[in-house]
Amino acid sequence: MPDLQIQHVIFTRVERAYSPNNVSGYQIAYKSAALGNDTTAIEKRLQCFEPGRQESARYQFFWTEQGQAVLARSVPLAEIDPEVIDPAQRDAFLAHALVVSRADFARIRNDPFAIFDAAENNDIFAEDADRLVDYLRARAAEQMLAVPLRKRAAVNDLLEGWRSEDLLRLYHLGMQAPLLSRQGRSLLLQADDRDEIFNLLNVICMLIPPDDRSACTFDTWVDGCTPHAGTLWAVGTSTGRSHPGFLPIRLVDQGLEFKGGGDGFSDPKALARSA
């Protein structure tokens, strides 16, 4: 079980007394000292969230320009602490990102879901004002995280009900990640339930070889803030609206529906070159 060195970035709304910048509003309320001032790009990725509409967690996996893996979990705050978060007690959210080196990420087979599982099982992610204050007062958050290596059996329950031909499609969607990035395109996964998108991405991660997982960056929910196509391999949404550069795929009863009725795949020769 590898021990990974982790750095933290927590983005949320705080009152002035709890702000490192001495101002009220949304901001990076906590970050590991080792990250220095180089967190602007991470902050931009964490900002877009609609707490009034989103009731479950949003998960993100992406890379910084410095080659660090970022694994983020955003949640709506169930209770708004008037002292810490907002005196008016308006809807708010909290995003907690873990930053891991490329070398450490490779030690856990480039598996973002292994880190999500380990962080949640060890109560690493902040999700309320009390936990946020714990981080602020501790000054130095947990710097190491033991991450068990996952095996394919970890997603066996998620495979139930999937047809073999659709599992093959999922495999190819994962293997297409480098090609889609070069083309400036992304997958647009559509489902009413955000957990379905998270589970689908989890399955794809376990279907493809470990060396190919690092290109499969994602954001499980982008309603109201769709990123530029090609920025991430896959994004999730509840809307049926298409956007230029995105390949819409609807999740229906553990099956895939591609816009226009085709499978949406690129030319097989191009896919072979990208593998």
Query: In the prediction, which pLDDT does 38 show?
Result: 77
Q: How far apart are CA 85 and CA 80, in angstroms?
A: 6
Helix (H, G, I), strand (E, B) or coil at 61: strand
Query: In the prediction, which pLDDT does 52 show?
Result: 63
Query: In the prediction, which pLDDT does 273 show?
Result: 43
Query: In the prediction, which pLDDT does 261 show?
Result: 47
- Angle separating helix axes 164-175 and 194-207, nearest 10 degrees: 80
- Displacement of CA 137 from its chain's centroid (Å): 27
- Domain residue ranges of the chain, discontinuous segments joined by +: 3-146, 153-274
Task: Indicate the pairing of strand 68-76 with strand 58-63.
Answer: antiparallel
Options 1.10.101, 3.30.230, 4.10.860, 3.40.50; which CATH number does 153-274 get?
3.40.50
Q: Tell me the whole-structure pTM to 2 decimals.
A: 0.91
Which residue from 229, 248, 228 is spatially nearest to 239, judged by alpha carbons? 248
pLDDT one digit per residue (tens) for the chain, 275 residues: 899 999 999 999 999 999 999 999 999 999 998 898 779 999 999 988 877 666 789 999 999 999 999 999 999 998 899 999 999 888 899 999 999 999 999 999 999 999 999 999 999 999 999 999 999 887 667 789 999 999 988 888 998 889 999 999 999 999 999 999 999 999 999 998 889 999 999 999 999 999 999 999 999 999 878 789 999 999 999 877 778 899 999 998 778 888 654 544 544 344 434 43
Q: How far is CA 4 from CA 103, 104, 138, 141, 199, in A?
A: 10, 6, 20, 14, 24
48, 224 Cβ separation under 8 angstroms:
yes
Query: In the prediction, which pLDDT does 150 show?
Result: 94
Q: Is 227 left (phi over 0), alpha (psi -120 to 50) or beta?
A: beta
